[in-house]
């Protein structure tokens, strides 16, 4: 009977259970998971950490370590509004974040933009 019940779950269940156990153990160390591991756990690839803060409202705090391992922090950049219908412009910034050069790229195709940026930008 024990062998029959193991066959009922199948090998895929065993692998998922093992993966979930390993990921849960690793989450205690505040490690970030791979996108594949997060998908296996049922988390979206664009999960924001602010969503993990809401788990307590639904009595799901046991998911918090896994959620924190799969989430992305919200960008801390300032938001900018763009004017509808304005021409596309490429703004190159210097090391201090000030605009060093501003180029209209209205008639550029994707390849031209890509080539220009690969020549102009420093690799970090």
**Residue 55: exposed, middle, or buried by beta-carbon count in 10 A (0-12, 13-18, 19+)?**
middle
Q: What is the pLDDT of residue 87?
A: 87
**Residue 71: exposed, middle, or buried by beta-carbon count in 10 A (0-12, 13-18, 19+)?**
buried
**Three-state DSSP class for residue 48:** strand
Q: What is the pLDDT of residue 73?
A: 85
Q: Which residues contact 77 (CB under 8 A, 6 or more apart)?
A: none
How many angstroms separate the CA atoms of 103 and 117, rounded?
A: 12
Q: What is the pLDDT along the chain (124 residues), one digit of tens a residue?
A: 444 444 445 555 555 655 565 555 544 444 578 888 899 999 988 888 999 999 999 999 999 999 999 998 887 666 777 778 888 888 888 888 888 889 999 999 999 999 988 888 776 5
- Enumerate the domain spans of the chain: 9-70, 89-120
């Amino acid at each position: 009977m024990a062998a029959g019940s193991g066959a009922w779950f199948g090998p895929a269940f065993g692998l998922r259970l093992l993966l979930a156990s390993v990921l849960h153990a690793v989450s205690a160390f505040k490690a970030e998971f791979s996108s594949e591991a997060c998908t296996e756990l049922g988390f979206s690839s664009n999960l924001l950490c602010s969503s993990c803060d809401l788990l307590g409202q639904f009595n799901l705090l046991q998911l918090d370590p896994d959620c924190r391992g799969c989430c992305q922090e919200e960008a801390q950049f300032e938001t900018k509004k763009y004017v509808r219908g304005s021409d596309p412009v490429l703004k190159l910034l210097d090391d201090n974040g000030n605009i060093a050069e501003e180029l209209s790229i209205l008639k550029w195709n994707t390849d031209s933009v890509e080539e220009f940026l690969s020549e102009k930008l420093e690799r970090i």
